[in-house]
């Protein structure tokens, strides 16, 4: 349950998934995104958007556009330059330079005495290792220069939803947290600890080991989120055959074993480029562990995932639907998706998993920002 009311700014808001996860106890003072399709989706889902949504490049916003002093600034900046599926250009990359557009606003707020009390920077796990840790250190240096202490958590949405989606959440605060919020956490992964260990001493002394427990065991799987077989369009046999041809012998064997046992099996197929015998080969890889692979935008990495169903000795395939993608992000059925499949998948694939945000807010952000729990920083 929210301990609000709290206020926040949402940068690179997309379809407003961070806002959805924060919940009713949080009031949005300002949100932005430069993509017209995502902006339209945000407005369709949040009727009050006209009062606070800024459509356009973050570099086009000014500190004066951000009202008040927010409890939280949330930034899910473009991830392509940190992702293993991208070019690994780091903060020098064109899209990830948007981080500095966001940070320019934070610096402007600080100059006006309106620094957000806390900041969350969400990105792909590649941020921890990009350029040997230099990009993570650059973000840390920016935070420390504005008076923040910080820590990071690597949270996989698979703990909440049937989708493998690890993401890094840098949580920074200008106030000293209570002792109850500091300690060990399953989300302080080996990669997080290694990133912290690489920090220069002048940054490391501002590090906080955030305590965030794991949630209760997830009680659903991919099959539970899918449409009824009769309600979706299946591939013709020749297209299914093409998927099977792209599989390695190992992946084909997995499906053949299910078919031989006569059991119903549901899985996700995604495309990968693999090096085999010294050359790059496209492969279709199937997972039958109840999880979808990480959702991406239609133009990214493994592109649009397919669903495979083995039943009654037959193998059928089809594309993942936009509504199914929304469910895999934890969006409610009432969430309004764009009309085109491509636009809807763009919104879902670029978003942050809603229940991850809610868990982070409930177990860390809200206790951190609640007046009774705050110890003023010196």
pLDDT at 89 over 70: no
Instruction: Give me the domain span that covers residue 252.
Output: 228-320
Beta-bridge mates of residue 75: 11, 121
What confidence score (pLDDT) does residue 288 get? 95
| Three-state DSSP state, 349 | helix
What confidence score (pLDDT) does residue 372 get? 55
| Same domain? 26 vs 156 | yes
337-374 confidence digits (pLDDT tens): 999 999 999 999 999 999 999 999 999 999 999 965 44
Residue among 150, 152, 149 at smallest CA distance from 122? 152
| Same domain? 180 vs 244 | no
What confidence score (pLDDT) does residue 262 get? 87
What confidence score (pLDDT) does residue 303 get? 65
Q: Which are the contacts of 8, defined by CB distance < 8 A and separation ≥ 6?
A: 19, 22, 26, 27, 28, 29, 70, 71, 72, 73, 74, 116
| Same domain? 165 vs 294 | no
In a domain, 262, yes or no: yes
* Distance of alpha carbon 288 from alpha carbon 223, whole angstroms: 10
53-82 confidence digits (pLDDT tens): 999 999 999 999 999 999 999 999 774 444
DSSP collapsed to 3 states, 10-60: EECCCCCHHHHHHCCCEEEEEEEECCHHHHHHHHHHCHHHHHCEEECCHHH
Q: Do 54 and 102 contact (CB within 8 A), yes or no?
A: no
What confidence score (pLDDT) does residue 131 get? 86
Residue among 217, 164, 161 at smallest CA distance from 332? 161
| Same domain? 56 vs 138 | yes
Average pLDDT over residues 17-35: 97
| Same domain? 102 vs 59 | yes
pLDDT at 51 over 80: yes
pLDDT at 31 over 80: yes
Q: pLDDT-based confidence at 298, cuts 50/70/90? A: confident
pLDDT at 310 over 50: yes
The least confident of 157-161, 170-174, 206-210, 259-263 is 259-263
| Same domain? 131 vs 264 | no
Kindly list the distances between the CA atom of residue 63 and the CA atoms of 98, 116, 174, in Å, as whole numbers in the listed order. 16, 12, 19
What confidence score (pLDDT) does residue 119 get? 98
| Same domain? 302 vs 362 | no
Q: Spell out the alpha helix ranges (H) of 172-279.
A: 190-198, 201-204, 222-225, 237-246, 249-261
What confidence score (pLDDT) does residue 377 get? 35
Q: Are strands 306-311 and 314-319 parallel, antiparallel or unpaired?
A: antiparallel
What confidence score (pLDDT) does residue 2 get? 52
* Distance of alpha carbon 324 from alpha carbon 330, whole angstroms: 10
* Distance of alpha carbon 290 from alpha carbon 181, whole angstroms: 32
Residue among 292, 302, 297 at smallest CA distance from 85? 302
| Same domain? 52 vs 165 | yes
The least confident of 24-28, 81-85, 149-153, 368-372 is 81-85
Whole-structure pTM value: 0.92
Beta strands in 205-305 (DSSP E): 265-276, 279-287
315-331 confidence digits (pLDDT tens): 999 999 999 999 999 99
Which residue in this structure is represented by tokens 């930034």? Answer: 75
| Same domain? 59 vs 156 | yes
| Same domain? 12 vs 159 | yes
What confidence score (pLDDT) does residue 296 get? 86
What confidence score (pLDDT) does residue 25 get? 95
In a domain, 69, yes or no: yes
Mean of pLDDT over the chain: 90
What confidence score (pLDDT) does residue 299 get? 64
């Amino acid at each position: 349950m929210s301990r609000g009311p709290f206020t926040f700014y949402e940068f690179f808001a997309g379809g407003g998934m961070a806002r959805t996860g924060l919940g009713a106890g949080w009031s949005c003072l300002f949100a932005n995104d430069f993509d017209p399709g995502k902006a339209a989706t945000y407005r369709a889902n949040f009727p009050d958007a006209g009062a606070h949504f800024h459509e356009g490049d973050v570099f086009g916003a000014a500190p004066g556009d951000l009202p008040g002093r927010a409890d939280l600034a949330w930034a899910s900046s473009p991830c392509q330059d940190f992702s293993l599926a991208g070019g690994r250009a780091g903060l020098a990359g064109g899209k990830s330079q948007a981080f500095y557009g966001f940070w320019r606003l934070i610096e402007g707020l600080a100059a006006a005495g309106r620094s957000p009390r806390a900041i969350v920077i969400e990105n792909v796990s590649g941020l921890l290792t990009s350029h040997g840790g230099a990009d993570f250190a650059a973000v840390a240096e920016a935070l420390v220069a504005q008076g923040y202490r910080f820590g990071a958590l690597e949270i996989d949405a698979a703990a909440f939803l049937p989708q493998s989606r690890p993401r890094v959440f840098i949580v920074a605060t200008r106030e000293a947290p209570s002792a109850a919020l500091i300690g060990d956490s399953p989300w302080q992964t080996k990669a997080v600890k290694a990133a912290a260990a690489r920090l220069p001493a002048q940054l490391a002394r501002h590090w906080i080991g955030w305590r965030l427990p794991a949630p209760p065991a997830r009680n659903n799987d991919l099959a539970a989120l899918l449409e009824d077989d009769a309600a979706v369009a299946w591939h013709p046999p020749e297209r299914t055959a093409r998927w099977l041809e792209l599989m390695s012998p190992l992946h084909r064997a997995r499906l053949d074993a299910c078919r031989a046992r006569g059991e119903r099996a549901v899985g996700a197929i995604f495309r990968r480029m693999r090096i085999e015998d010294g050359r790059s080969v496209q492969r279709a890889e199937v997972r039958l562990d109840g999880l979808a692979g990480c959702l991406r935008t239609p133009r990214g990495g493994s592109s649009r995932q397919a669903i495979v169903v083995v039943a009654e000795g037959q193998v059928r395939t089809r594309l993942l639907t936009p509504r199914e993608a929304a469910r895999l992000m934890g969006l409610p059925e009432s969430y309004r998706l764009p009309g085109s499949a491509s636009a809807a998948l763009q919104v879902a694939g670029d978003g942050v998993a809603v229940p991850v945000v809610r868990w982070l807010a409930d177990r860390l952000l809200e206790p951190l920002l609640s007046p009774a729990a705050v110890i003023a920083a010196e």
